[in-house]
């Protein structure tokens, strides 16, 4: 009997913590998603079944394009500056 009480106590602590983490991650997903469809899908899944969705959000939910965007922007700036220095027409419209 004492073992089942301990299991119930642990579950009574762990389940609300998982739900709270799911809600926090859902807010993060809504604030940081690239599209509204993605934000809604992540929010619904994180609130509905956080145990599976938290693991999937940790893997697939982060924005992988931040470095790409900054690298692309710096290459465009370098191309424009180089073309102006050399007196050439830039390949990219400004």
Residues 57 and 11 in one domain: yes
Residues 49 and 77 in one domain: no
Distance separating alpha carbons of residues 38 and 42, to the nearest angstrom: 6
If you ran DSSP here, which 8-state letter would residue 62 be given?
Answer: S
Helical H runs in 33-65? 36-48, 50-60
Domain carrying residue 74 = 64-94
What's the mean pLDDT in 47-74?
77
Residues 36 and 52 in one domain: yes
Query: How many domains, the chain?
Result: 2
pTM score, whole prediction = 0.62
Percent of the chain with pLDDT over 70: 77
- pLDDT surpassing 60 at residue 69: no
Instruction: Give the tens place of pLDDT for each residue, 21-50.
Output: 999 999 998 988 878 888 899 999 999 999
């Amino acid at each position: 009997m004492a073992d089942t009480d301990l299991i119930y106590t642990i579950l009574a602590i762990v389940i609300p913590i998982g739900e709270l983490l799911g809600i926090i991650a859902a807010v993060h997903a809504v604030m940081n998603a690239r599209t509204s469809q993605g934000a809604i899908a992540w929010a619904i899944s994180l609130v509905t079944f956080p145990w599976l969705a938290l693991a999937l959000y940790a893997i697939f939910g982060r924005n992988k394009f931040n470095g790409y965007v900054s690298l692309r922007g710096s290459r465009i700036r370098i191309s424009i500056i180089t073309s102006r220095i050399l007196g050439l027409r830039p390949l990219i419209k400004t």
